Amino acid sequence: MPVPLSINMKKYLIIISLLAMTLSMQAKSKKKSDTPAPGALKEVLVKNGILLGAAINQWEVAGEVPGAVPAIVANFNSAEAENCMKAEVIHPKEGVYDWKLADEFIDFCQRNNITAIGHCLVWHSQPAKWMFKDKNGEPASRPLLIERMKEHIFTVMQRYKGKVKGWDVVNEAILDDGTLRVSPWSELIGPDWIELAFRFAHEADPDAELYINDFSMAKPAKREAYLRLIRDFQQKGIRIDAIGMQSHNGVDYPDVVEYEKTLEAYAATGLKVMMTELDLNMLPNPKDWDGSAEVNKKAAYEEAMNPYKKGLTLEAQKIFNDRYLAFFGIYARHKESISRINFWGASDLNSWLNNWPIKGRTSYPLILDRQYKLKPVVNDIIKLFE
């Protein structure tokens, strides 16, 4: 026969089970708060008028990367094509356009309600090299190159009219010391090549937003040069909607104070500011690195330069979190001036920083890990905007 429990014993058991329930609920909610909810960052940013995007590659678009499509669709409401809209891919020969990958990218964005951004119309890197030579193999004349640039801008922009919200019209035109980059564009056309590109872009699609984009914007001389360019455009009435701070950041660059100053100075021009290629390189850089994202600068692989093959150390993880929070702290303070934050890559798996400036490393620069899972720091980023 069961022994009847005393009233006190019953009370005691009820209290114990209530306590156990509370503890287990607390543990669950702690666990829940460690794993950021997919899409939560995008939601909080869109409430602040900021699009959250990523550069995505052709294999992600084609659904060939396990886990990529659902993670991209859940976490981002904007995207850029990592390579396939660059001139060397889309316009490989005179009179020949290769739309395949760009069309697939645009279809992917349309199907998934993702705002597509065009990257990029005119750049010294990955250009359509044939444009720089005439039919005799001599350097193209100014009128010839202007005509080719115009035709390229018109053809590409008009194909995607209404499907691309805005374009990086000109990429990386100014050097860190504030001088104009010497490139076939500046050499063969002259300093007005930038302004011509924007005039053509506006003519080609008057509804598209037009952006100028560059890295190392926290460097004072470069900041000043872009401010001069913006003021010059504004005086001449040339359309420009936003300035892109690429933001290929590292552990010890850029200086966050200078970076914030740049954001403030650009915002003060009345243009929107965009973080267009955000990532955080946790890996050591080659000697005397200047914090640039000059794609043509490369260095040879050495074991010592690839220290986190199995994952970041706890110490490195903390630096990663602190740096991300420092940058997003700046974005939160200036949220009215920012219209888009775009990561350069959807996840660590496909980041260009696994192969640049040193090939074959294991890099951890983004907020989605190699399995396309959000990293815990995202929870703290969200809090900055709530």
The answer to whether residue 176 forms part of the interface with ligand XIL (CB under 6 A) is: no
| 247 versus 337: smaller Cβ distance to ligand XIL | 247
Smallest gap from residue 150 Cβ to ligand XIL (A): 22
Determine which one of 60, 80, 82, 172 is catalytic: 172
The answer to whether residue 160 forms part of the interface with ligand XIL (CB under 6 A) is: no
Smallest gap from residue 101 Cβ to ligand XIL (A): 13
φ/ψ bin of 36: left (φ > 0), alpha (ψ from -120 to 50), beta (otherwise) = beta
| 36 versus 211: smaller Cβ distance to ligand XIL | 211
Smallest gap from residue 295 Cβ to ligand XIL (A): 5
Smallest gap from residue 244 Cβ to ligand XIL (A): 9
Residue of 249, 355, 366 whose CA lies nearest to 295: 355
Tell me the backbone φ, ψ of residue 20, rounded to 5 degrees: -60, -40
Residues 68-97 that bind ligand XIL (CB under 6 A): 82-83
| 89 versus 225: smaller Cβ distance to ligand XIL | 89
- Residues 235 and 207: beta-carbon distance below 8 Å: no
The answer to whether residue 339 forms part of the interface with ligand XIL (CB under 6 A) is: no
3 state DSSP class of 318: helix
| 54 versus 140: smaller Cβ distance to ligand XIL | 54
The answer to whether residue 124 forms part of the interface with ligand XIL (CB under 6 A) is: no
Residue nearest ligand XIL, CB atom distance:
352
Residue 25 has, within 13 A of its CA and on its CB side, a CA count of 6
Which of 196, 293, 346, 377 binds ligand XIL (CB under 6 A)? It is 293
| 320 versus 343: smaller Cβ distance to ligand XIL | 343
- Residue 54 bridge partners (DSSP): 79, 343
Residue with tokens 């697939």: 104
Structure tokens at 364: 């951890």
What string marks each residue from 26 to 65 as x (binds ligand XIL by CB under 6 A) or -? Answer: ----------------------------------------
Q: Catalytic: 172? A: yes
User: What does DSSP assign to residue 133?
Assistant: B
3 state DSSP class of 125: coil
The answer to whether residue 350 forms part of the interface with ligand XIL (CB under 6 A) is: no
- Residues 102 and 57: beta-carbon distance below 8 Å: no
The answer to whether residue 167 forms part of the interface with ligand XIL (CB under 6 A) is: no
Residues 245-284 that bind ligand XIL (CB under 6 A): 246, 277
User: What does DSSP assign to residue 242?
Assistant: E
Name every residue whose Cβ is closer than 8 Å to that of residue 227 and which is 6 or more positions away in sequence: 265, 266, 269
Residue 48 has, within 13 A of its CA and on its CB side, a CA count of 22
Residues 295-324 that bind ligand XIL (CB under 6 A): 295
Site size toward ligand XIL (CB under 6 A) is 8
The answer to whether residue 216 forms part of the interface with ligand XIL (CB under 6 A) is: no
Angle, CA of 303, 362 and 88, to the nearest 5°: 110
Residue of 159, 222, 153 whose CA lies nearest to 185: 153
- Cα separation, 216 vs 295, whole angstroms: 13
Which of 198, 211, 253, 352 binds ligand XIL (CB under 6 A)? It is 352
Structure tokens at 105: 């990218």
Smallest gap from residue 205 Cβ to ligand XIL (A): 21
Structure tokens at 262: 């740049």
Residues 233-252 that bind ligand XIL (CB under 6 A): 246
| Sites of contact with ligand XIL (CB under 6 A) | 82-83, 171, 246, 277, 293, 295, 352
Among all residues, which ones are annotated catalytic? 172, 277
